[in-house]
Amino acid sequence: MNAEGATSTSPELLLRVRQYIPEFTRPDGSRNIRGIAKTFGLSRATIARYLLKIDAEDAQAAQLNYTPDIDGIEEIKPRVRVRAYNVSVTKDLPVRRMVAIGDLHLKPGMDFEHMRWIGRYVAETRPDNVLQI
């Protein structure tokens, strides 16, 4: 018995149950607990508890092995300065941020999902001007 007074599950038994999970997983992703219980000669409640332990171990392993693709990466966005022909005229003007969108080549019946992406980017960056060529 452990500190809480319950018996601990052997890692070998959990490994054996883990090996049977794919065989007893239905096409919709649910598990046939009754079939696993019958195979091992254990109660359904015991198998359900084992499956919860296995799922918790898998979630913990996934958390430890997680490497984000882009989450938390903050790159410094480059600033582009265009030199004006007459510096004396433009030196007092504020710097303006702009998003330039190239030719979209839209046709009737096309999917406009990319416009939603552009809209989200514009809403996120909040530029001073948006230019669509």
| Structure confidence by residue, pLDDT tens digits, 46-84 | 999 999 999 888 888 877 766 655 555 566 666 666 665
Whole-structure pTM value: 0.46
d(CA 24, CA 21): 5
Q: What would the DSSP string read from start to end of 79-131?
A: P-----S-HHHHTTSPP--EEEE------TT---HHHHHHHHHHHHH--SEEE
Residue 73 DSSP one-character state? -
Residue 78's pLDDT is what? 64
d(CA 77, CA 70): 15
Residue 71's pLDDT is what? 55
Type and span of the H or E element at 132: strand 129-132
Torsion of CA 114, 120, 126, 130, to 10 degrees: 20
- Each residue's pLDDT tens digit in the chain (133 positions)? 455 555 677 888 888 998 988 999 888 888 999 999 999 899 999 999 999 999 888 888 877 766 655 555 566 666 666 665 666 666 666 777 888 998 888 888 888 888 888 888 888 888 888 998 8
d(CA 47, CA 45): 5
Residue 38's pLDDT is what? 92
d(CA 35, CA 31): 9
Give Dmax (Cα) for the chain. 88
CA 34 to chain centre: 33
